[in-house]
Structure formats: structure tokens, C-alpha cells
């Protein structure tokens, strides 16, 4: 209590001394200050008129069109009829004057005092007799980008009275001095309470403590300010939380976007990169990219590196951010890369795979003819065998059995073709049929290799699996089995004897696991890489039919992986053979 009383007494004495000193100063200089205040008030009013006129000119593009007569309509909104508006260019030519219809005939105004001051100091004022109207005006000219706007009011008796200093202030000072002693004591106590409350709030805010129910402030101006500060703090805290939530949504959206996106700091350190950015870099660079930090070292991105280096020493305007676009062709895939540099020299790089649109166009054109052709071949063979048996009655029994076995083989091939077409159609048009669930990836691959063990033994092939036993993905087991079965069968058919197959898990982050499937076979020529996922496309058509292929295996793989929310890419490693890369969503 003693400390509180001492603080209030000190505050009271301080307020009283300050008031006495300022009262003396105000009493001496008040006349001048009051007059300057009224002049300033009049200037503010005239400057407001000038700003309104300038906004009207800019909004309606009047300066460019030269249609200054439109300014006649704006004068109606001014409260006084004796307001005069003049627009003058930087050469002193009068572009508009509200008091004259023939304002183009007015003399050059560049030497008017207010215009001269505005030319050098952006604004100027003057009280003088107008040579154009023979009236005294109070002028205020303000400089804008391409012209001056001069607002003026007739210097009448009313204006003179407005600018004069009233004596009421002196009586007010005397009365205020008499009331000060009693009021200051109350004010010092109230201010002291408000300051203590604000101090408590400041300490809690600095410690980032929640302020849901702050102490009630005294009912005075400082109390209102204190409550508003608390409200502002709570609103900012709420806004920060909302921004954090929106930022998280944006990051999640970028992660699932099929456009590879990465953000880098001004010193080329990665801030963020989504999964597709890493995957596309792996295709373009022909290596497994562990992270995206070194993407500028890839030769295909040399133009972007030069673009970033060029702009590193220049200031960047927010309205015109520098953008660099680049087309990249690698491993039979086509990409569009784009780099945007921001004001702080950080930059965004996006990579878009545009191969699919080209493939889909070709696929639509060839689909009908391919299906008819593929169905015609086994049907024609079956028809030929049966017609031979029916038309040649003297065919030996063992020959009949031979023809029937050949027909049965074609029927089996036809059945396989229909099954593959049915599966593709189901994936594309009835994707909801395949339910996603937690699946052990290693178990799926082991089951496939066990089912194909006889074929693997025939080709004397070797399958090396480097998938962790605790890798679980969110996928459909039937489709995953089909993916790896088709890939292994493809390697066995086209890789030749003694082929070595490698299935590796090479990157596991951001909720995705990246899979590399490769073999050391003869590989695929560059000209075919962009089309091997097309329906019925064969690199060696005759050999594929001889091996029993339908031409749909890799198309099923591609569509099944896309149903899992990813994409598959193929490339020719420098070591030879062929490599397929895709990702699957991890299941915790």
C-alpha cells in the first residue's frame, strides 16, 4: 500500500509539473500555434480536394485521354461553391480550371508561387489576388506523377474569420488550471491501474501465455487502449494459427500434385520439395536423387542455373517477377520446367510431365485398330485349324490332335487377351472396385516370385529383392501382384537367359516409398521408351507373339500404379538394361 501511494503521489506531482510548464509555454505561443493549426486545417481540406481530383483522373484515365471536361461532374460533391480546381502540367500549361470554360486560353501558371513551391517541395500554398478572376484566393498546389492539382477557396470574410484565433482558449486554460489539481489526483490513480494491467499483459504476452480472459481494465481511455491491445493480440494469435493451418493445407496440396514443385532459399538450399520433384529429377538425371539440393548440377538445368546467377545481383520488383521456362527431353519423357525468382532472391522450380497428354492422343487414335487386329489374329488361327479338320476328312488322327492343340493354344491366348483388356477397363472405368488396404510389400513380391519360380528356372534367371520386411503400403493386393508379375514376366521374355532382376527400395520419405525395378538385359532402344506403356505396343512384335505376350502387360502396370496415386517412368541406365521407377504410399 505504501509503495502504491508513493507511486501515485509521484505520478501526480509529475503530471502537475508538466501541466504547469506546458501551460506557460502554451499561454505564450498559443496565438501563433492556433493560427498555424487553422491554416493547416484549411490546407488539409484543400489537399483532400486535390487528392479526390487526382484519384478521379487516375481512375477514369483522364490524363491519357485528355477528357478533362469530365472533372466538371466531381465539383458537385464539394460542400462549397467557391472551391476552384485547376490542373496544370509540369510546363505550366493549364489543362483544366473549374472557373473557366475556355481554360486553354489561360496564361502559363509555372511561375505562380504555389506552383513553384509544389515543383520543388511537392506542395505549396499562397494567398494572393488572382490575375484571371480579380479575386483573392487561398491557393494550395500539390504535385503528382504527371501534373499539379491546385485547389483554392475564395479568400472571403468567412475564411478570414476561420483562420483567426479565438479568445475562448484563454478562458479554457484558466478554467483547466483551476480544475487540474483535483483531476490529476484521480487521473494518476486511474492511469497507474491501467499501466499495471498493461504491464501484466505485456509479461504474459512475452511468455506466449494464453490470454483468453484478461483482467478487466479501468473504464477510461487507457483501459480502452489496453482492452484493444489484448483484442489485437488475440486476433493476431488466431490469425497466426489459421495461417499455419492454411500453410499445412497448401503443403499437402503440393504433395499430392502431379507437378514437381520445390522451393529454394537465396543460397540454393532446399526449403521444400514434393515427391514428384524428386521422381522427375531421377528420370532426368539418370541417377537416384537422394534429395533435391543438388538439382542445379544436372546438365539439363544449366539454363536455369545461369538464369538464377544472372538475377542474383539485381533488385527484383514484386510486380514483375523474373520467370524462366525450359523444355526437357530425357529417357523418352517430355518435361516443362519453370523457375520463378522472388524479391528476396529465393526461388521456386516446378517440373511438369507433359508426356501423358501426347500418349493419350496417340492411344485414342490407335486403340480401335489395335484391339481389332489383336483379336483377329487368334480368331483367324482357330478358324484355319478347324476348317482344315472339317474340310479334309482324311486327316490323320495325330494331325487332328495337333490342330486341336494349336487351336486350344490360340483360345488360351485369346482368353488371356480378353482378361487383360477386362482388367484394364476395370482399372480405368471401375477403379472403386479395387479397395486400398494396409499391405506388406515384401510379402507381395515374394508371392509373385514363388508363383513364377518355374519360369525363372527355365530362363536360369536371378531375382534380387532389397525391400524391407517392415515396409507396408496402402494398396490393393491384387493390383500389386499384377504389377510385379507383369514386370518380372516382361524381364524374362525380353531379357534373355541368365538375366538378373533387381527390385530395390531406394528412398523412403514424405509418406512415400520409391521402388526401382531393373534388369541387365539388352534394354530398350530410345525410340521405344516413350511408347512401351501403350496398349498393344511391342518392341519386337513377332518375338512377343511367339512368347505369348498380349502387348498389354506394361499398360496394366502403368494404370495400376496410377490408381495407387503415382506414376511409373522407364529409363536406360548407363550400366545397361532397363529400369522402372515408381512410388507407393506408405501405411504407418
Q: Are residues 487 and 581 in the same domain?
A: yes
Which of 163, 179, 201 is at the close of a domain?
163
Per DSSP, the residues of 450-519 read HHTHHHHHHTT-EEEEE--TT-EEEE-HHHHHHHHHHHHHHHHHHH-TT-EEEEEEEEEETTEEEEEEEE
Q: Are residues 26 and 130 in the same domain?
A: yes
Q: Are residues 200 and 109 in the same domain?
A: no
pLDDT digits (tens, 9 = 90+) for 119-158: 999 999 988 888 777 888 889 999 999 999 999 888 776 6
Predicted local distance difference test score (pLDDT) of residue 348: 92
Q: Please list, residue by residue across 209-232, b when 16 or more beta carbons sit within 10 angstroms of its beta carbon and e when fewer do.
A: eebeebeebbeeebbeebbebbee
CA dist 195 and 256 (Å) reads 52
Q: Are residues 106 and 244 in the same domain?
A: no
CA dist 341 and 316 (Å) reads 8
Q: Are residues 186 and 158 in the same domain?
A: no
Predicted local distance difference test score (pLDDT) of residue 88: 93
Which of 328, 353, 378 is at the close of a domain?
353
CA dist 404 and 386 (Å) reads 8
Q: Are residues 265 and 294 in the same domain?
A: yes
Radius of gyration, CA atoms only, the chain: 42
CA dist 555 and 359 (Å) reads 12
Q: Are residues 103 and 40 in the same domain?
A: yes
The CATH number assigned to the domain holding 393 equals: 3.30.565.10
Of the candidates 557, 421, 587, the one whose C-alpha atom is nearest the C-alpha of residue 481 is 557
CA dist 417 and 381 (Å) reads 15
Q: Are residues 154 and 111 in the same domain?
A: yes
Of the candidates 370, 355, 495, the one whose C-alpha atom is nearest the C-alpha of residue 424 is 370
Which helix (H) or strand (E) covers residue 363, if one does? helix 355-391
Task: Collapse the DSSP code of 586 into the 3-class scheme (helix H, G, I; strand E, B; otherwise coil) and give the result.
Answer: strand
Q: Are residues 344 and 390 in the same domain?
A: no
Residue 329: phi and psi, rounded to 5, are -125, 115
CA dist 573 and 518 (Å) reads 9
Q: Are residues 346 and 431 in the same domain?
A: no
Q: Are residues 315 and 386 in the same domain?
A: no
CA dist 503 and 468 (Å) reads 11
Predicted local distance difference test score (pLDDT) of residue 545: 46
Predicted local distance difference test score (pLDDT) of residue 189: 66
Q: Are residues 97 and 74 in the same domain?
A: yes
Domains of the chain: total: 4
The CATH number assigned to the domain holding 55 equals: 3.30.450.20
Q: What residues make up the domain containing 495?
A: 358-585
Which of 105, 137, 163 is at the close of a domain?
163
Question: Which residues lie closer than 8 Å to 326 by C-beta, 6 or more apart?
Answer: 300, 301, 303, 304, 336, 337, 338, 339
0.85 exceeded by the pTM?
A: no
List average pLDDT for each run of 10 residues in the chain, which is 588 residues long.
Answer: 53 71 69 73 87 91 89 83 90 90 87 91 88 83 93 74 60 70 66 69 72 63 73 81 83 80 89 86 73 81 90 82 89 89 91 79 59 63 75 78 76 71 69 84 93 90 92 91 90 88 87 92 84 75 51 85 90 88 89
Amino acid at each position: 500500500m505504501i509503495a502504491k501511494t508513493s507511486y501515485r503521489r509521484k505520478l501526480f506531482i509529475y503530471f502537475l509539473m508538466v501541466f504547469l510548464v506546458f501551460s506557460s509555454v502554451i499561454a505564450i505561443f498559443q496565438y501563433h500555434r492556433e493560427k498555424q493549426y487553422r491554416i493547416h486545417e484549411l490546407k488539409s481540406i484543400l489537399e483532400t480536394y486535390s487528392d479526390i481530383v487526382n484519384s478521379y483522373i487516375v481512375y477514369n484515365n483522364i490524363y491519357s485521354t485528355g477528357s478533362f471536361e469530365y472533372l466538371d461532374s466531381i465539383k458537385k460533391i464539394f460542400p462549397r461553391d467557391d472551391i476552384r480546381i485547376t490542373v496544370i502540367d509540369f510546363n505550366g500549361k493549364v489543362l483544366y480550371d473549374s472557373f473557366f470554360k475556355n481554360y486553354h486560353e489561360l496564361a502559363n501558371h509555372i511561375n505562380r508561387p504555389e506552383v513553384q513551391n509544389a515543383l520543388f517541395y511537392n506542395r505549396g500554398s499562397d494567398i494572393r489576388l488572382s490575375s484571371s478572376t480579380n479575386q483573392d484566393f487561398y491557393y494550395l498546389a500539390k504535385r503528382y506523377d504527371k501534373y499539379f492539382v491546385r485547389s483554392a477557396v475564395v479568400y472571403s470574410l468567412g475564411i478570414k474569420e476561420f483562420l483567426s484565433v479565438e479568445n475562448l482558449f484563454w478562458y479554457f486554460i484558466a478554467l483547466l488550471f483551476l480544475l487540474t489539481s483535483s483531476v490529476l489526483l484521480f487521473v494518476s490513480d486511474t492511469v497507474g491501474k491501467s499501466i499495471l494491467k498493461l504491464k501484466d499483459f505485456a509479461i504474459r504476452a512475452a511468455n506466449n501465455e494464453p490470454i483468453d480472459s484478461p483482467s478487466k481494465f479501468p473504464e477510461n481511455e487507457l483501459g480502452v487502449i489496453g482492452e484493444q491491445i489484448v483484442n489485437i493480440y488475440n486476433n493476431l494469435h488466431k490469425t497466426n494459427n489459421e495461417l499455419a493451418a492454411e500453410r499445412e493445407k497448401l503443403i499437402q496440396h503440393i504433395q499430392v500434385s502431379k507437378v514437381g514443385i520445390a522451393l529454394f532459399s537465396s543460397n540454393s538450399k532446399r526449403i521444400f520439395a514434393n515427391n514428384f520433384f524428386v521422381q522427375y529429377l531421377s528420370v532426368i538425371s539418370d541417377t537416384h536423387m537422394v534429395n533435391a539440393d543438388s538439382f542445379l548440377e544436372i546438365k539439363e538445368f544449366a539454363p536455369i542455373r545461369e538464369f538464377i546467377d544472372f538475377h542474383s545481383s539485381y533488385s527484383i520488383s514484386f510486380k514483375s517477377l523474373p520467370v524462366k521456362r525450359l523444355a526437357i527431353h530425357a529417357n523418352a519423357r517430355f518435361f516443362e520446367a519453370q523457375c520463378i525468382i522472388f524479391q528476396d532472391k529465393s526461388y521456386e522450380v516446378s517440373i511438369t510431365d507433359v508426356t501423358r497428354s501426347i500418349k493419350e492422343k496417340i492411344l485414342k487414335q490407335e486403340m480401335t485398330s489395335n484391339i481389332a487386329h489383336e483379336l483377329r489374329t487368334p480368331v483367324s488361327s482357330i478358324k484355319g485349324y478347324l476348317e482344315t479338320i472339317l474340310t479334309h476328312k482324311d486327316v490323320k488322327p495325330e494331325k487332328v490332335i495337333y490342330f486341336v492343340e494349336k487351336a486350344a493354344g490360340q483360345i488360351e491366348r485369346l482368353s488371356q487377351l480378353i482378361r487383360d483388356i477386362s482388367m484394364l477397363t476395370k482399372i480405368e472405368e471401375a477403379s472403386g472396385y479395387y479397395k486400398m488396404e494396409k499391405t506388406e510389400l515384401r510379402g507381395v513380391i515374394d508371392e509373385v516370385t514363388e508363383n513364377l519360380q518355374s519360369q525363372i528356372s527355365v530362363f536360369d534367371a536371378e531375382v534380387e529383392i532389397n525391400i524391407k520386411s517392415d515396409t507396408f503400403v496402402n494398396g490393393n493386393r491384387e493390383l500389386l501382384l499384377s504389377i510385379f508379375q507383369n514386370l518380372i514376366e516382361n524381364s524374362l521374355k525380353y531379357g534373355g537367359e541368365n538375366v538378373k532382376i533387381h527390385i530395390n527400395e531406394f528412398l523412403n520419405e514424405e509418406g512415400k516409398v520409391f521402388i526401382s525395378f531393373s534388369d541387365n538385359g539388352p534394354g530398350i532402344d530410345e525410340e521405344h521408351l516413350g511408347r512401351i506403356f501403350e496398349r498393344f505396343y511391342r518392341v519386337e512384335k513377332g518375338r512377343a507373339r511367339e512368347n505369348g505376350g498380349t502387348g498389354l502387360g506394361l499398360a496394366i502396370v502403368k494404370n495400376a500404379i496410377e490408381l495407387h496415386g503415382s506414376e511409373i517412368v522407364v529409363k536406360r541406365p548407363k550400366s545397361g538394361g532397363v529400369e522402372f521407377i515408381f512410388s507407393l504410399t506408405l501405411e504407418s
